[in-house]
Amino acid sequence: MWKMASEGGGKESNEIKTQFSTREGVYKLLPNSEYSRPNRVSFNSQGSNPVKVSFVNVNDQSGNGERICFNVGRELYFYIYKGVRKAADLSKPVDKRMYKGTLPTCHDSNVLTATAESVSLLVGFSTGD
């Protein structure tokens, strides 16, 4: 008589898998922030494109005074940052820029002139601009 794994006939494991492999490929559990990122780059085409992150504090009456800016490939995103415990809504950036001829490699904000309505951002590109 055959016993099923649920009846104790197989190896019992209460472990929740975060990744597994099949013939089709490898499946991984992604964090919400990575899964919901707009325009995800496919895993095979990821190169060594530089990714930079910068933060700026603005005087905002709503209490959401921190902003985060980061680049992914040729795109530059600007979001309201709510801290590490609450994920930002990545489908609603404050601003998004896409560059056609070059990659943004670094960026920094002018904290002296930053307001809730406007943040001056200096962007450096792979072409030296």
Do residues 45 and 51 make contact, with C-beta atoms less than 8 angstroms apart?
no
Between 89 and 31, the higher pLDDT residue:
89
Which pLDDT belongs to residue 104? 87
Per-residue pLDDT of 72-83, as tens digits, reads 888 889 888 887
pLDDT at 48 over 70: no
Task: Return the closest-CA partner of residue 69 out of 115, 122, 127, 129.
Answer: 122
Q: Between 20 and 33, whose confidence is greater?
A: 20
pLDDT band of 92, cuts 50, 70, 90: confident
Cβ–Cβ < 8 Å for 111, 56: yes
What predicted TM-score, i.e. pTM, was given to this entire model? 0.55
Distances (CA, A) of 78 to 3, 28, 81, 106: 56, 27, 9, 14
- What radius of gyration do the chain's Cα atoms show? 21
